[in-house]
Amino acid sequence: MVAITRNSKVVVLTGAGISAESGIRTFRASDGLWENHAIEDVATPQAWERNPQVVWEFYQGRRRQLREVEPNTAHLALVELEQYLGENFLLITQNVDNLHGRAGSKNLIHMHGELALLRCETCLSVFEMMDDVHLESDYVACQECDNPRLRPHIVWFHEMPFQMPEIYAAVEDCDVFITIGTSGHVYPAAGLIDVAKSCGAHCVGINLDAPVNLQQHDEFHQGKAGELLPNFVTNIIKK
Ligand code: APR
């Protein structure tokens, strides 16, 4: 069990597994999100060029689902840990759902973008689009220029994740690196633990199944994040 005090610098990386208990499907489970869709048909720039309607409806459906789900006890436990650690805490998420923010997380980086945001490919403006008219409309036009079709502000395969310099700086400087609910399949996120380890951080994993980069973890807690994380955080704070 890792020793974390108020002076410990802690970086947390979450994946789809932390939202599973809220009812959002993960990607690589047998009934996962990719089960009904080929990644190249909905999550690549080529797909958006080739068949924007399919891509748009895929993300509209995932956006509409956000109105039916709530943060779970794992999201809330991370808010408690952030309140205990303050500026020594950073949450990096691969998730594009808005559950960390809705739970109250503040020091938060969405490295793969956000479902609730749309981006203009012409003027690069980014807009929050979650009200009903935008969730039913065919496409949403840019409010700053004459582009009729904003794209999802999501990092697709073959695109560079957001805020990587900031992410690497924090991971290189942390004392403890915790992965939660991620299978360790997708880079550069899956390589962050290698960076943390090479810089001397103690690496902890909390996951339902063993991630592919299990051997990089100094300690691993197998199980549901919603069940394990509240006690994990309580044991840190009550010390
Ligand atoms: N608690 C903890 N872990 C869970 C839970 C749970 N309740 N339910 C599932 N898991 C674990 C699974 O065992 C799995 O290892 O969460 C992990 C989810 O893995 P993936 O579906 O591969 O999702 P993720 O690791 O977030 O994928 C990374 O890949 O498809 C791209 O851009 C997409 O951000 C995504 C990235």
Task: Give pLDDT, residue 1.
Answer: 66
Separation of alpha carbons 34 and 180, rounded Å: 20
Q: How confident is the model at residue 238 (pLDDT cuts 50, 70, 90)?
A: confident
- Alpha carbon nearest to ligand 1 atom 35, residue: 94
Marked catalytic residue, from 112, 153, 202, 221: 112
Number of Cβ within a 10 Å radius of residue 47: 20
Does the Cβ of 181 fall within 6 Å of ligand 1? yes
Cis omega before residue 188 (within 30°)?
Answer: yes
Strand 10-14 relative to strand 151-154, pairing: unpaired
Write the CB contacts of 177 (distance below 8 Å, at least 6 apart in sequence). 10, 11, 12, 13, 171, 192, 193, 196, 197, 201, 202, 203, 204
Q: Which H, E and C letters describe 3-39, residue by residue?
A: CCCCCCCEEEEECCHHHHCCCCCCCCCCCCHHHHCCH
Does the Cβ of 152 fall within 6 Å of ligand 1? no
Task: Give pLDDT, residue 42.
Answer: 93
Mutate to test the pocket of ligand 1, among 27, 193, 232 (most ligand atoms within 8 A of CB): 27
Task: Give pLDDT, residue 35.
Answer: 75
- Give percent of the chain above pLDDT 70: 98
Known active-site residue 112: yes
Average pLDDT (167-172) is 98
What mean pLDDT value characterizes the chain? 94
Cα–Cα nearest to 85, from 8, 12, 14, 13: 8
Write the CB contacts of 153 (distance below 8 Å, at least 6 apart in sequence). 113, 114, 117, 118, 119, 126
Asked whether the predicted pLDDT for residue 138 surpasses 90, the reply is no
H helices of the chain, in order, are: 17-20, 39-42, 45-50, 52-65, 73-85, 99-103, 132-136, 164-173, 192-198, 225-237
Q: How confident is the model at residue 13 (pLDDT cuts 50, 70, 90)?
A: very high
Does the Cβ of 161 fall within 6 Å of ligand 1? no
Residue-wise pLDDT for 33-65, tens only, equals 787 888 889 999 999 999 999 999 999 999 999
CA of 103 to the centre of ligand 1 (A): 19
